Amino acid sequence: MDCIFCKIANKEIKSEIIFEDDEIMIFKDVNPVAPLHLLAIPKKHVESILEIDKLEDDLTVKILKAISDIAKEMNMDKEGFRVVTNTGEGAGQSVKHLHFHILGGRKFNWPPG
């Protein structure tokens, strides 16, 4: 399958990996929109959060825990940070492999643009 995040997960494409285990990868976004901008993915290909049922329940929990751990390790918890999963055209999803943006290091407005 021609999916850029599958290729990152299986190391066909290089990325700056922050955390990895058998099922999960967290790597730096190549085009950061905040001083800290990471992407957390399941290595298994699912298109978006709409297909979360295709992942084992414990993997979904593991991804959220990994996000929490990394945010603390990188001291994002002090000032606040944002976790975003753009879903579909209207939300600007450009890569159709489920990913959670982890954004930190600056102030974030609400509502988002």
State the minimum distance, in angstroms, from the CB of residue 42 to ligand AMP: 15
Q: Which residues bind ligand AMP (CB under 6 A)?
A: 4, 13, 15, 29-31, 39, 86, 92-95
Amino acid at 72: K
Tokens standing for 65? Answer: 């825990």
Instruction: For residue 32, give the DSSP letter.
Output: -
Minimum distance from CB of 78 to ligand AMP (Å)?
24
Output the DSSP codes for 12-75: SS---EEEE-SSEEEEE-SS-SSSEEEEEEESS---SGGGGGGS-HHHHHHHHHHHHHHHHHTT
Active site residue 37: no
Contact between 97 and Zn ion per CB under 5 A: yes
Kindly name the residue from 37, 97, 99, 101 that is annotated as catalytic.
Answer: 99
Q: Look at residue 48 and give the partner it binds from ligand AMP, Zn ion, none, a contact being a CB closer than 5 to 8 Å depending on partner kind.
A: none
Nearer Cβ to ligand AMP (11/54): 11
Residue with the closest Cβ to Zn ion?
3
d(CA 1, CA 76): 34
**Residue number, 31 or 109, with CB nearest to ligand AMP:** 31
Active-site residue numbers? 99
